[in-house]
């Protein structure tokens, strides 16, 4: 499925300088056109959100501070976690034979199926935050979007995640200069955000391109190193070349990789 670029028309230059956007079925234009309030909420939350030194260099447990902070921002705007169930009544009716004789009793049973919960739902928009969870969560999220769209309850699905290479680079750079490097029991350096089997834009793009969300327009928003804002006394970042959209460019990824720790082990 072809990726579209309607986000270039509807999101501000400021946001496109900090986040990487990707979409199918012109999801950004669909969101701004069909759910303008929810579109404004998304822009407001993205504008006000910043990564901190702690959120990048402290090990996460359960739902990370990044995901929890983003979810809380949407809660304050009226978004709510939502789950869906469906019930099906199955009835097998028998025709009488010979004609005129009583038919056999119908066989009837009911079954119920439940979908996974969506992190945030408002209007006709579903939004999930996947900062650094198992990448199987992306399949769950897209399946939810697809099911809700097919029954007519959803116009657009939104996934907020991270750009793997850029966030991994910034986390380890800050650990280096901020004296926050950690080592495992065997003395090997732990690479922050280094596990490749977690949720990130690079894992999400192939799923979007093969159409895993069916006919549902899906917008992906990926955090980059430009979402980091140092607090008082925190280390600052060097200015990297190019806008964050070029994080999909192999040449810039090589530049980032060149600045990563040489001795490294997966989380």
User: How high does pLDDT run on average in the chain?
Assistant: 89
The Cα–Cα gap between 77 and 66 comes to 17
State what percent of residues in the chain have pLDDT above 70: 88
The predicted pLDDT at position 113 comes to 80
Greater confidence (86 vs 41) lies with 41
Please give the average per-residue pLDDT across 121-143, as a whole number. 96
Count of domains for the chain: 1
Q: Which residues touch 36 (CB under 8 Å, ≥6 apart)?
A: none
- Indicate whether 138 belongs to any domain: yes
53 domain residue, yes or no: yes
76 alpha-carbon distance from chain centroid: 19
> Which structural domain range is residue 43 located in?
3-83+118-258
**What CATH number corresponds to the domain at position 196?**
3.40.91.20
pLDDT at site 249 = 44
Mean pLDDT of 227-238: 93
Q: Residue 113 falls within a domain, yes or no?
A: no
On the 0-12 / 13-18 / 19+ scale of CB atoms within 10 A, 82 is middle
Whether residue 48 lies inside any domain: the answer is yes
Which segments of the chain does DSSP mark as H helices, in order? 7-10, 13-18, 27-34, 36-48, 53-57, 65-75, 136-150, 164-177, 201-209, 250-258
Mean pLDDT score, 55-68: 77
Provide the pLDDT for residue 258: 47
pLDDT (tens digit, 9 = 90+) per residue, 148-186?
A: 999 999 999 999 999 999 999 999 999 999 899 989 899
Residue 101 lies in a domain: no
What digits encode the pLDDT tens for the residues 79-130? 999 998 888 999 999 999 999 999 999 999 998 888 789 999 999 999 999 9
Q: Kindly report which listed range (30-34, 55-59, 251-255) carries the lowest average pLDDT score.
A: 251-255
The pLDDT, as a whole number, for residue 155 is 98
Q: What is the pLDDT of residue 63?
A: 57
Domain membership flag for residue 59:
yes
* Residue 96 maps to a domain: no
Identify whether 108 is part of a domain: no
High-pLDDT (> 90) share of the chain, % = 78
pTM of structure = 0.85
Residues 188-210: pLDDT tens digits? 999 999 888 999 999 999 999 99
């Amino acid at each position: 499925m072809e990726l579209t670029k309607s986000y270039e028309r509807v999101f501000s230059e400021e946001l496109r300088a900090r986040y990487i956007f990707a979409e199918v079925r012109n999801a950004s234009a669909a969101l701004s056109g069909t759910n303008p309030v929810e579109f404004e909420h998304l822009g407001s939350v993205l504008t006000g959100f910043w990564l901190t030194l702690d959120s990048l260099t402290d090990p996460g447990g359960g739902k990370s501070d990044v995901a929890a902070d983003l979810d809380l921002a949407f809660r304050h705007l009226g978004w709510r976690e939502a789950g869906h169930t469906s019930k099906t009544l199955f009835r097998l009716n028998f025709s009488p034979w010979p004609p005129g004789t009583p038919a056999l009793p119908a066989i009837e049973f009911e079954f119920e199926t439940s979908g996974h919960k969506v992190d945030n739902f408002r209007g006709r928009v579903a939004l999930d935050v996947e900062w650094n969870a198992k990448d199987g969560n992306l399949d769950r999220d897209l399946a939810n979007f697809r099911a809700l769209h097919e029954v007519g309850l959803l116009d657009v699905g939104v996934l907020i995640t991270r750009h793997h290479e850029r966030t991994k680079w910034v986390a380890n750079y800050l650990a280096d200069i901020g004296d926050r490097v950690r080592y495992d029991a065997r003395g090997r350096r732990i690479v922050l955000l280094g596990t490749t089997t977690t949720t990130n834009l690079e894992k999400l793009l192939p799923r979007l391109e093969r159409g895993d969300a069916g006919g549902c327009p899906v917008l992906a928003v990926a955090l980059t190193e430009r979402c980091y804002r140092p607090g008082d006394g925190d280390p600052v970042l060097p200015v990297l070349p190019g806008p964050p959209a070029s994080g999909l460019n192999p040449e810039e990824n090589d530049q980032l990789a060149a600045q990563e720790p040489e001795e490294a082990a997966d989380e």
